[in-house]
Amino acid sequence: EFYVLMISSLLGMFFMISAANVLMLYVGLELSTIPLAAVANFDLKRKTSGEAAMKLIISSAFSSAILLLGISFIYGCTGSLDFADINNLLHKEPLHAAAFLLFFVGLLFKVSAVPFHLWTADVYEGSPVAVTSFLSVASKAAAV
């Protein structure tokens, strides 16, 4: 089941890469994150493994809430979720800036980019080595 969870996480990353709208990007993000929480708790001999999985779930839920708030603001401003329509319809108004700020903060928190990476040290420490290497490279590569 370890390999099934890792492959489903990779499938979510493929969805992220091939997304043409914001909703598919979000589905890909969640499909890549949820199996990683189960895989982070795969080493049952260590107590820190469960703690790592719980921190991953809590931080993922928090970043998903921020990301969904940004997506809802973007949809409210443009009436569309397609990237091309969003690019054409958004102008420089304060609500549009707030929508993109929430969207990118949620996205950066989800992939543990530099200002939002405080939770990653605990997750990397408690997870098995294979999961740590996958988490540290694959999520950032898919987001870029």
pTM beyond 0.75: yes
pLDDT in tens, 82-132: 988 888 877 777 888 888 899 999 988 888 777 777 787 888 888 888 888
Q: CA-to-CA distance for 51 and 59, rounded, in angstroms?
A: 12
Q: Give one DSSP letter per residue of 24-92, joined into a string.
A: HHHHHHHHHHHHHHHHHT--TT-HHHHHHHHHHHHHHHHHHHHHHHHHHHHHHHHS--BHHHHHHH--S
How many domains are there within the chain? 1
Q: What's the domain range around 12?
A: 2-143
